[in-house]
Structure 1
Amino acid sequence: MKSSKIITIGIKELAHQKVILAAWYNFLKENFDAKKVTAEEFTQYLQAHVMYDLDKDQIELMLSGSEPLLEDFKKSIFG
């Protein structure tokens, strides 16, 4: 298994969290189907952590994965 990294995405609206989590699942599923991630990595990377930042009044969504995987995901959703 590759070394895991974490990215944090700040979210103000709950609806945005749902969209990002759905996009993350679909992205991981596509990579799993393409055999770019193993079943173990797929299961591990699906475990997203959520934290509420009182100072910023926003939700922090923490996604884990290999560095190239996370970079590809950021490009796919943020351009």
Structure 2
Amino acid sequence: MKSSKIITIGIKELAHQKVILAAWYNFLKENFDAKKVSAEEFTLFLQAHVMYDLDKDQIELMLSGSETLLEEFKKSIFG
């Protein structure tokens, strides 16, 4: 398994968290189906951590994956 990195996405609205988590799942599923990630990686990367940042009054969604995978996800969701 490749080394794992983490990206943090700040979210102000709960509805945005649902959209990002759904997009992350779909993105991982597509990569799993294309055999770009193993079953072990798929299961591991699906685990998203959530924190609340009091100073910014926002949710911090932390997604883990390989650096390449995270870069591809950021491009697919943020352009």
Give TM-score scaled by structure 2 length: 1.00
What is the rounded CA distance, in whole Å, between the counterparts of 2:70 and 2:34 in structure 1?
Answer: 16
What is the rounded CA distance, in whole Å, between the counterparts of 2:38 and 2:73 in structure 1?
Answer: 17
Q: Deviations over 1:9-67 (max 9, x none)?
A: 00000000000000000000000000000000000000000000000000000000000
Unaligned runs of 5+ in 2: none
Unaligned runs of 5+ in 1: none
CA RMSD of aligned residues (A): 0.1
Shift in Å, 1:73? 0.0
What is the rounded CA distance, in whole Å, between the counterparts of 1:46 and 1:25 in structure 2?
Answer: 7
What is the rounded CA distance, in whole Å, between the counterparts of 1:56 and 1:65 in structure 2?
Answer: 25
Percent identical across equivalent pairs?
A: 94
Q: How many residues align?
A: 79
Greater than 2 Å deviation, 4+ residue runs = none
Give TM-score scaled by structure 1 length: 1.00
